[in-house]
């Protein structure tokens, strides 16, 4: 392990200055005729399932939106993500389970990755988040293949995996939001960077097998109840406790229920989950709170609710679930910080101060009582979501960003 190097300049934002010769331009690369398909290998961990994994599935499922991008995937761990990608018919490669505390597992995975890259001749290697980038960047560099880092969250401030990742500077950083970009100081220094909001597609109607009535019936929710829903992993920053606190201020209103959707994926999340469930059980509104951790079809649950609420207490880097809620026609209530500021505006939702359960309760109360307001905000949601994240727009734009990177290998 090396000591962290001194932070350099903020990631260079090329949107504000012309691109020098050989660097990125808004229209693509310097080499003429580089409209051939680009073969891109996406590196991930594979053992969890969250926003990054949801986006990788979108890249695979909607690859027809940009035939010039040919995605393949490589993971260290088998799990839900690799299974769903394989079901989509895209190439998935397994590098073997890795623990950085066991160096031989790292060496073995890097050797397999080098062999894979040399055999398949990828145009670009893209690492999603510091851990898979730290694992694969050195192997990609040894093959001469251009590297791209997709920043899905702001750096934490120099932890050990970021220090390993920093050793290999990418040709390009793609940030999932302006928030992530502006907080990317010091990870790679003055590396060309662009913002590309995560591609998120509207739900496929064929994936919605259960009706709104049937879902509510299964959960014991009255058909006329106004359902507040939160879909998030059990993490401190997501704001579960803030929402519970605000619900207590709504105890006189009998017309609502709240669904907390999502379970535990890491051991360290188990204690927080137990604490939240116990806190809900002790509250004055415990009978109107549901915890849904099994058999989850997020899109069906969203379609059966009226309001999406996720009052983050720390900034969300982007917030794919916000976009999914907008596609489902729900007004979104969240805190005025982070990537949410780039997604939610007054046309489709409400922004509230962080850690202010009284203000949050007042906003929820307004939406619970005003069906016309909910309808107006909800109607604007799909339009807002598509304008930000439509794969039909974002995947061709990704291709344009990667063309000049691939040019460097071709020249």
pLDDT tens, 62-98? 999 999 999 999 999 999 999 999 999 999 999 999 9
Closest CA to 123 of 22, 41, 193: 41
The percent of residues in the chain predicted with pLDDT above 70, rounded, is: 90
DSSP state of 28: B
Phi and psi at residue 256, in whole multiples of 5°?
A: -120, 160
Mean pLDDT of 309-327: 96
Confidence at residue 186, expressed as pLDDT on a 0 to 100 scale: 65
205-389 CATH? 3.40.50.2000
Q: Calculate ∠ Cα 192-189-49, nearest 5°.
A: 75
228 vs 209: which has the higher pLDDT? 228
Cα–Cα distance, 381 to 106 (Å, whole number): 44
Residue 16 exposed, middle or buried by CB count within 10 Å (0-12, 13-18, 19+):
exposed
Q: Where are the domains of the chain?
A: 12-197+391-410, 205-389
Confidence at residue 157, expressed as pLDDT on a 0 to 100 scale: 73
Confidence at residue 138, expressed as pLDDT on a 0 to 100 scale: 95
Helix axes 267-282, 240-248, angle to 10 degrees: 0
How many of the other CB atoms lie within 10 Å of CB of 228? 26
Q: Which of 113-122, 169-178, 260-269, 380-389 has the lowest mean pLDDT?
A: 260-269
Q: What is the pLDDT of residues 115-152, one digit of tens each?
A: 999 999 999 999 999 999 999 999 999 999 999 999 99
Is 245's pLDDT higher than 60? yes
Q: What is the pLDDT of residues 1-35, one digit of tens each?
A: 333 332 233 233 333 333 332 334 333 333 334 47
Confidence at residue 31, expressed as pLDDT on a 0 to 100 scale: 36
pLDDT band at 102 (very low <50, low <70, confident <90, very high): very high
User: Given 3-state DSSP classes, what are the helix, strand and coil percentages for the chain, each rounded to the nearest 5?
Assistant: 45, 15, 40
Confidence at residue 408, expressed as pLDDT on a 0 to 100 scale: 67
Same CATH fold, 205-389 and 12-197+391-410? yes
Is 58's pLDDT higher than 60? yes
Longest distance between any two alpha carbons in the chain, whole Å: 69
Edge-to-edge order in the sheet of strand 124-128 = 12-13, 192-195, 172-175, 147-151, 124-128, 38-44, 69-75, 92-94
Cα–Cα distance, 365 to 127 (Å, whole number): 43
Confidence at residue 356, expressed as pLDDT on a 0 to 100 scale: 96
Cα–Cα distance, 203 to 195 (Å, whole number): 24
Q: CATH assignment of 12-197+391-410, given 3.40.50.2000, 2.30.30.100, 3.40.50.10140, 3.40.50.300?
A: 3.40.50.2000
Confidence at residue 19, expressed as pLDDT on a 0 to 100 scale: 34
String of DSSP letters for 210-277: S-HHHHHHHHT--TT-EEEEEE--S-GGG-HHHHHHHHHTTTT--SEEEEEE----SHHHHHHHHHHH
Mean pLDDT of 338-346: 96
Mean pLDDT of 189-202: 93
Q: How many residues does the chain have?
A: 411
Confidence at residue 60, expressed as pLDDT on a 0 to 100 scale: 98
């Amino acid at each position: 392990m090396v000591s962290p190097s001194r932070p350099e300049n903020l990631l260079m934002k090329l949107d504000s200055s012309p691109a020098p010769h050989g660097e990125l331009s808004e229209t693509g690369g310097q080499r003429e005729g580089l409209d051939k398909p680009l073969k891109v290998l996406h590196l991930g961990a594979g053992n969890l399932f969250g926003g990054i994994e949801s986006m990788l599935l979108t890249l695979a499922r909607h690859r027809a939106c940009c035939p010039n991008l040919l995605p393949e995937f490589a993971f260290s761990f088998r799990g839900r993500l690799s299974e769903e990608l394989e079901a989509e018919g895209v190439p998935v490669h397994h590098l073997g389970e890795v623990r950085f505390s066991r160096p031989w597992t790292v060496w073995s995975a890097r050797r397999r990755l080098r062999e894979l890259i040399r055999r398949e001749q990828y145009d670009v290697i893209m690492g999603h988040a510091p851990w898979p980038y730290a694992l694969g960047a050195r192997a990609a560099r040894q093959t001469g293949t251009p590297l791209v880092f997709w920043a899905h969250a702001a750096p934490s401030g120099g932890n050990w995996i970021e220090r390993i990742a920093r050793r290999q500077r990418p040709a390009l950083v793609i940030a999932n939001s302006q928030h992530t970009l502006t907080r990317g100081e010091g990870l790679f220094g003055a590396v060309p960077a662009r913002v590309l909001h995560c591609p998120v597609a509207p739900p496929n109607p064929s994936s919605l097998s259960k009706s709104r009535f049937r879902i509510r019936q299964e959960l014991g929710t009255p058909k006329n109840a106004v359902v507040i829903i939160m879909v998030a992993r059990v993490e401190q920053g997501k704001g579960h406790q803030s929402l519970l606190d605000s619900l207590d201020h709504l105890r006189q209103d009998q017309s609502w229920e709240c669904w907390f959707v999502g379970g535990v994926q890491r051991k360290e999340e188990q204690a927080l989950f137990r604490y939240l469930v116990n806190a809900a059980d002790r509250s004055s509104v415990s009978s109107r709170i549901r915890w849904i951790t099994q058999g989850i079809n997020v899109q069906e649950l969203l379609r059966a609710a009226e309001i999406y609420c996720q009052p983050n207490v720390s900034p969300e880097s982007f917030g794919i679930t916000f976009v999914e809620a907008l596609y489902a026609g729900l007004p979104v209530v969240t805190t005025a910080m982070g990537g949410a500021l780039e997604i939610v505006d007054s046309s489709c939702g409400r922004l509230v101060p962080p850690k202010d359960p009284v203000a949050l309760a007042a906003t929820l109360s307004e939406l619970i009582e005003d069906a016309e307001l909910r309808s107006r905000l909800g109607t604007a949601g799909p339009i807002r979501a598509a304008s930000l994240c439509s794969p039909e727009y974002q995947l061709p734009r990704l291709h344009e960003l990667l063309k000049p990177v691939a040019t460097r290998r071709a020249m």
